Amino acid sequence: MSAVLALEGLNTFYGKSHILHGVSLRVEEGELVALLGRNGAGKTTTLRSIMSLTPPRTGRVTLHGRDITRAPPYRIARAGVGYVPEGRRIFGHMSVHENLQVPPAVSGPWNIGAVYELFPRLHERRHSKGGRLSGGEQEMLAIARALLLNPKLLILDEPSQGLAPVIVQEVMRAIARMKREGLSVLLVEQNARLALQLADKAYVLSDGEVVHQGPAAVLRADTARMEALAGVSHLG
């Protein structure tokens, strides 16, 4: 049985600096996988390698068994990967509604009407410029934009970054709902405690290497270990 997403031995470079050292990881059907690690560990680079925005020099990325390594990013997106980038990357000078018209319409349950239903706040603000939205609204817009591709896999890069706690809870609820609806999710977070609440499985990266992998419950229970691995400072 092939995983929704499998990374095998990725080595990724920025110019001459070797960032990812043989990263392997799997996301199975319907699973929510957390990818944790300190700032600079290589989480964003892993996602950029998957999307081919910074293509890995060696290693393989497969989606449902199909090799997508170094394919053009638009093909990877259309093959069913919804990407919510770090910092959200909203088109700030365009309205919410225009932002939602950027991705090609892919047939499936998610269309502009459906994402407005999921995030009524976006519907209310559909004529506002993306740059005028609050951080939470921008995050919702970034998720909505990714859903329009009707992805099989959603990958999110630090969706909680810079958001007020109430808003973080709202965003997390939306992610949990995506999982319930059958989407597989790869969730990058610096806030390990938050990610582990939702995750089935967790990987921890450090200096571009996977230093821990296992059921999320293990790290959830063993906060000292989580602290040591992922350097989480905000344990409750």
Ligand X SMILES: Nc1ncnc2c1ncn2[C@@H]1O[C@H](COP(=O)(O)OP(=O)(O)O)[C@@H](O)[C@H]1O
Candidates 2-10, 22-30, 62-70, 73-81: pick the segment binding other proteins (CB under 8 A): 73-81
What strands, in cross-sheet order, belong to the sheet with 58-63? 17-27, 5-14, 58-63, 66-67
Q: Cα(141)–Cα(183) distance, rounded to whole angstroms?
A: 18
For residue 125, what are the CA distances in angstroms to 41, 65, 89, 114? 36, 40, 18, 15
CB closer to ligand X, 82 vs 85: 85
Q: Cα(187)–Cα(184) distance, rounded to whole angstroms?
A: 10
The item of ligand X, Mg ion, other proteins, none sharing an interface with residue 14, based on CB under 5 to 8 Å by kind, is ligand X
Q: Does the footprint of ligand X cover residue 41 (CB under 6 A)?
A: yes
Q: Does the footprint of other proteins cover residue 70 (CB under 8 A)?
A: no
Among 2, 9, 14, 120, binds ligand X (CB under 6 A): 14
Q: Cα(26)–Cα(35) distance, rounded to whole angstroms?
A: 11
Cβ neighbours for 170, distance < 8 A, ≥ 6 positions apart: 136
Q: Does the footprint of ligand X cover residue 19 (CB under 6 A)?
A: yes
Q: Helix count (H) and strand count (E) of the chain?
A: 10, 10
For residue 20, what are the CA distances in angstroms to 88, 117, 128? 23, 39, 39
CB closer to ligand X, 80 vs 85: 85
The item of other proteins, Mg ion, ligand X, none sharing an interface with residue 89, based on CB under 5 to 8 Å by kind, is other proteins
Candidates 1-9, 90-98, 193-201, 204-212: pick the segment binding other proteins (CB under 8 A): 90-98
The item of ligand X, other proteins, Mg ion, none sharing an interface with residue 85, based on CB under 5 to 8 Å by kind, is other proteins
CB closer to other proteins, 24 vs 95: 95
| CA dihedral (214, 217, 222, 225) positive or negative | positive
For tokens 């809870």, what's the residue?
169
Phi, psi at 195, each rounded to 5°: -65, -35
CB closer to ligand X, 93 vs 234: 234
Total binding residues toward ligand X, as defined by CB under 6 A? 11
Among 23, 34, 36, 42, binds ligand X (CB under 6 A): 42
CB closer to Mg ion, 86 vs 170: 86
Q: What letter represents residue 220's amino acid?
A: R
Beta bridge partners of 213: 203
Binders of other proteins among residues 125 to 164 (CB under 8 A) are 145-146, 149
Q: Does the footprint of other proteins cover residue 65 (CB under 8 A)?
A: no
Among 42, 55, 85, 136, binds other proteins (CB under 8 A): 85
